[in-house]
Structure 1
Amino acid sequence: MESESRLVRMCIESACESRESVGKWRLQRRTLERLPSALADAVLRRLSARRLLFPSLLEVFKRSAEAIDLRGENAVDAEWMAYLGAFRYLRSLNLADCHRVTSSALWALAGMSSLKELDLSRCSKVNDAGVNHIVSISSLEMLRISETGVTAEGVKLVSLLINLSVLDLGGLPVDDAALSSLQVLKNLEFLDLWGSNISNEGVDILQTFPSLSFLNLAWTSVTRLPKLLSIECINMSNCTIDSLLEGDGYKASLAKLVLSGATFANETKAFLHVDTCLLSFLDVSNSSLHGFYFLHHMTSLESLNLCSSIMGDDSIEVIASIGANLRDLNLCKTKVTSAGLASLAGHLPKLEKLLLSHTPIDDSAISYISIMPCLKFVDLSNTAIKGLVHGEGTETKLIPSLAALHGLDCLESLNLEHTKVSDAALEPLSICQELRHLYLQSPSITDVSLHHLSSLSKLKRLSIRDAVLTDCGLESFSPPTTLEMLDVRGCWLLTEDAIFPFSRKHPLIEVRSKNEV
Structure 2
Amino acid sequence: MGGACSRKRDQDGSEENVRRSVSGRYSKSGSSKWLGTSFTRSNSDIQLRKGISPSLLELCVRKVREDIDDFLDKYKTFSMIPRDISQQIFNELVDSHCLNSELLEVFRDCDIEDICLGEYPGVADKWMDVISSQGSSLLSVDLSGSDVTDSALNLLKDCINLQALTLNYCDQISNRGLGHISGLSKLTSLSFKKNNAITAQGMSVFANLVNLAKLDLERCSGIHGGLVHLRGIASLESLNIRCCNCITDADMKPLSGLTNLKELQISCSKVTDLGVSYLKGLHKLVLLNMEGCLVTAACLESIAAFITLSYLNLNRCGLSDDGCGNLTGLKNLKILNLGFNNITDACLVHLKGLTSLESLNLDSCKIGDEGMINLAGLVHLKNLELSDTEVGSNGLRHVSGLANLESLNLSFTLVTDSGLRKLSGLTSLKSLNLDSRHITDTGLAALTCLTGLTHLDLFGARITDFGMNFLRYFKNLRSLEICGGGITDAGVKNIKDLSSLTLLNLSQNCHLTDKTLEVISGLTSLVSLNVSNSRITSAGLHHLKSLKNLRSLSLESCKVTAGEIKKLQSTALSDLVSVRPEQIS
Q: Structure 1 residue aligned with 2:212, among 164, 174, 177?
A: 164
User: 1:66-465 residue pairs with structure 2 within 5 A?
Assistant: 66-88=113-135, 89-98=137-146, 100-148=147-195, 149-172=197-220, 173-176=222-225, 178-194=226-242, 195=244, 197-222=246-271, 223=273, 224-225=276-277, 226-239=280-293, 240-241=295-296, 242-244=298-300, 246=302, 252-264=307-319, 267-269=321-323, 272=326, 275-290=329-344, 291-321=347-377, 323-346=378-401, 348-387=402-441, 389=442, 401-465=443-507
Q: Distance in 1 between matches of 2:421 and 2:80?
A: 60
Please identify, of 443-452 and 307-316, the stretch whose mean Cα deviation from structure 2 is larger: 443-452
- Give the C-alpha shift of residue 58 in structure 1: 2.3
TM-aligned CA distance change 1:365 to 1:217, over 3 Å: same
Structure 2: which amino acid aligns with 1:170?
A: E
Question: Structure 2 CA distance, aligned partners of 1:190 and 1:424?
Answer: 52
| Partner of residue 55, structure 1 | 101
Q: 1:191 to 1:10 in 2, by over 3 A?
A: same
1:335 is matched by which residue type in structure 2?
E
Q: What is the alpha-carbon distance in structure 1 between the residues aligned to residue 423 and residue 300 of structure 2? A: 36
The 1:218–1:453 alpha-carbon spacing in structure 2 relative to 1, beyond 3 Å, is same
> Could you report, residue by residue, the CA deviation over 1:136-189 in whole angstroms, capped at 9, with x for unpaired residues?
32221100113211001111211111110001122333334x222211111100
2:522 to 446, 459, 479: 479
Change (3 A) 1:422 1:80: farther
Higher relative contact order (CA 8 A, sep 6+): 2
Task: Describe the shift of the 1:10–1:259 C-alpha distance in structure 2 as closer, same or farther (beyond 3 A).
Answer: farther
Instruction: Output the CA distance in 2 between the equivalents of 1:185 and 1:427.
Output: 61
Matches within 5 A, 1:33-48: 34=81, 37=84, 44=90, 47-48=93-94
Shift in Å, 1:376 = 1.0
SS of the residue 1:263 aligns to: coil
Mapped to 2, the partners of 1:351 and 1:9 lie a distance apart of 40
**Partner in structure 2 of residue 398 of structure 1:** none
Structure 1 residue 460, shift from structure 2 partner: 2.3
Q: 1:273 to 1:368 in 2, by over 3 A?
A: closer
1:470 equivalent to 2:513? Answer yes
Shift of 1:383: 4.2
Relative to structure 1, the CA distance from residue 294 to residue 405 in structure 2 (aligned partners, 3 Å threshold; closer, same or farther) is same
1:302 CA displacement: 0.5
Query: How big is the shift at 1:270?
Result: 5.8
Identify the structure with the greater strand proportion: 1
Specify whether residues 36 and 83 from structure 1 end up closer, same or farther in structure 2 by C-alpha distance, changes over 3 A only.
Answer: closer
TM-score for both structures, normalised by structure 2: 0.77
Compute the displacement of 1:411 (Å): 1.4
Separation in 1, partners of 2:374, 2:533: 43
Contact 1:282 1:301 in 2 (8 A): yes
Q: Is the 8 A contact 2:265 2:289 kept in 1?
A: yes
Residues 114, 138 of structure 2: 8 Å contact kept: yes
SS of equivalent to 1:462:
strand
Which residue in the other structure is 1:397 paired with?
A: none
What percent of counterpart residues are identical?
A: 26
Give the drift of 1:72.
Answer: 2.6
Q: CA offsets, 1:291-315, max 9 Å, x none?
A: 3332122111001111111121121
Q: Which moved more, 1:435-444 or 1:80-89?
A: 80-89
Looking at structure 1, the residues matched to 218 and 447 of structure 2 have their Cα atoms a distance apart, in angstroms, of: 43
User: 1:252 offset after TM fit, Å?
Assistant: 2.6
Shift of 1:330: 0.9
Q: Secondary structure at the match of 2:351?
A: helix
| Contact 1:359-1:383 within 8 A present in 2 as well | no
SS of residue matched to 1:81? helix
Kindly state the Cα deviation for residue 432 of structure 1 after the two structures are TM-superposed. 1.4
Task: Provide, for residues 408-431 of structure 1, a one-character-per-residue CA deviation record: whole Å limited to 9, x for no partner.
Answer: 242111111122112211112112
1:502/1:292 Cα in 2 relative to 1: closer, same or farther (>3 Å)?
same
State the 1:61 CA deviation.
4.0
Instruction: Quote the Cα distance in structure 1 between the aligned partners of 2:58 and 2:406.
Output: 32
> What is the rounded CA distance, in whole Å, between the counterparts of 2:379 and 2:265 in structure 1?
29
Aligned-partner Cα distance in 1 for 2:518–2:56: 34
Q: State the AA in 1 paired with 2:361.
A: N
Give the Cα–Cα distance (whole angstroms) in 2 for the partners of residues 171 and 343 of structure 1: 41
Query: 1:211 and 1:456, CA in 2 relative to 1: closer, same or farther beyond 3 A?
Result: same
For structure 1, list consecutive stretches of 5 or more residues without a partner in the other structure.
390-400
Deviations 1:309-339 (A, max 9, x none): 1121121111223x20101111111111122
Q: Displacement of 1:30 after TM fit?
A: 6.2
Counterpart of 2:141 in 1: which secondary structure? strand
Q: What SS does the corresponding residue of 2:326 show, helix, strand or coil? A: coil
Contact 2:287-2:310 at 8 Å conserved across structures? yes
Deviations 1:31-88 (A, max 9, x none): 6763664x76665555445432212222334526433333333422212233322234
Question: What do you get for the CA RMSD once the two structures are aligned?
Answer: 2.9
* Distance (whole Å) between structure 1 residues aligned to residue 552 and residue 247 of structure 2: 47
SS in structure 1 of the partner of residue 205 of structure 2: helix
8 Å Cα contact 1:227-1:245 kept in structure 2: no
Q: What CA distance in whole angstroms lies between the structure 2 residues aligned with 1:292 and 1:220?
A: 27
Q: For residues 485 and 8 of structure 1, do their structure 2 counterparts lie closer, same or farther at Cα, with a shift above 3 Å needed?
A: farther
Aligned residues of 2:522 and 2:546 also touching (Cα < 8 A):
no
TM-superposed CA distance for 1:491, in Å, is 4.4
Letter paired with 1:167 = L
Following superposition, the deviation at residue 279 of structure 1 comes to 0.8
| Map 1:7-26 → 2, pairs under 5 A | 21-26=67-72
The one-letter code of the counterpart of 2:190 is L
State the Cα distance separating 1:359 from its structure 2 match.
1.9
Q: 1:68 to 1:461 in 2, by over 3 A?
A: farther
Q: How many Å separate the matches in 2 of 1:76 and 1:453? A: 44
26-35 or 364-373: which moved more?
26-35
Query: Deviation digits for residues 341-389 of structure 1, max 9, x if unmatched?
Result: 122112x1111111122223222232222221111111112442122x3
- Judging changes above 3 Å, is the alpha-carbon distance between structure 1 residues 273 and 355 closer, same or farther for their aligned structure 2 residues? closer
Secondary structure of 1:314 counterpart = helix
CA distance in 2, matches of 1:245, 1:158: 32
Offset at 1:273?
A: 7.7
TM-score (norm 1): 0.86
The answer to whether the 8 Å contact 2:307/2:331 transfers is no
